[in-house]
Amino acid sequence: MHAYVWMANHIHLLATPQFENSISKVFQSVGHKHVQYFNYAYQRSGTLWEGR
């Protein structure tokens, strides 16, 4: 990670991956953790878009 900026509603990242699919794996992991947090916080289960 070279730099990052936290904006009001999004984040800018400047990073150089060590391996070809590293960035996609990072965002996959972040998304998975976000769904776990959301489900815990709102006493839900399943995918983020389920039942909408």
Nearest to 32 by CA among 20, 44, 45, 47: 47
Residue-wise pLDDT tens digits, 1-52: 899 999 999 999 999 999 999 989 988 999 999 999 999 999 999 988 887 6
Question: 44-49 long-range contacts, Cβ below 8 Å, gap at least 24?
Answer: none
String of DSSP letters for 3-22: EEEE-SS-EEEE---SSTTH
Q: What's the confidence (pLDDT) of residue 36?
A: 95
Q: What's the confidence (pLDDT) of residue 3?
A: 96
First to last CA, the chain: 35
Nearest to 33 by CA among 25, 20, 50, 22: 25
